[in-house]
Amino acid sequence: YERVLRGHREIIGTRASHTVDIKFRRGDGVVIDCAVTSKVVYAEDGRIVGFSGTIQDITERKLAEKQLEALAYYDPLTGLANRALFTRQLEDVLSDAGRSAHTSALLLLDLDRFKEVNDSRGHSSGDELLVKVGNAVSRLLDSQHFLARLGGDEFAVIVRGATDCAAIEDLARRIIAAISGAMHLEHG
């Protein structure tokens, strides 16, 4: 509720209204998203006598926004970040490059002979392989690293916070080892 009170302070002395989105716990314990809109109420002599406003349940709107964000920034097949989110992350890494003592790197992965899997075993097998590769790589990464599927059979890893080049090379070798072996596919 501090955000609502801060909004009230901002509009004192104005005729403006202020809206803030907050989480609210209903009496039955369910947490919902609400938009609280407030405006100052003045007496005829100009004194502030209070605030009036509305509270609107915007839970469905927030859910729709999350779904749109998922469509905009995540690959629907693998659940990994897509090219758009990858680009934003890469821009962040590049802008932080001069301010960080740690080393960052970009690893690009492209699956050799992926087209052969699609052509010989079908697209469902190709899709399954992409999911398995994404899972195998993500298991090797820690929370500082960022994995994205750029499209087709292309993946990218942004390595952040590495202590030196040897650590990056070690991670690259472990990724290659994890995805180079045979993968059992259920489809096809």
Active-site position among 75, 110, 119, 153: 153
**b or e along 140-157 (b: 16 or more beta carbons within 10 Å of the residue's beta carbon)?**
ebeeebbbbbbeebebbb
Q: Are 104 and 166 in contact (CB under 8 A)?
A: no
Query: 142 catalytic, yes or no?
Result: no
Tell which phi-psi region holds residue 49, choosing left (phi > 0), alpha (psi between -120 and 50) or beta.
alpha
For the packed helices 165-180 and 123-140, what is the interaxial angle rounded to 10 degrees? 150
Catalytic residues: 153
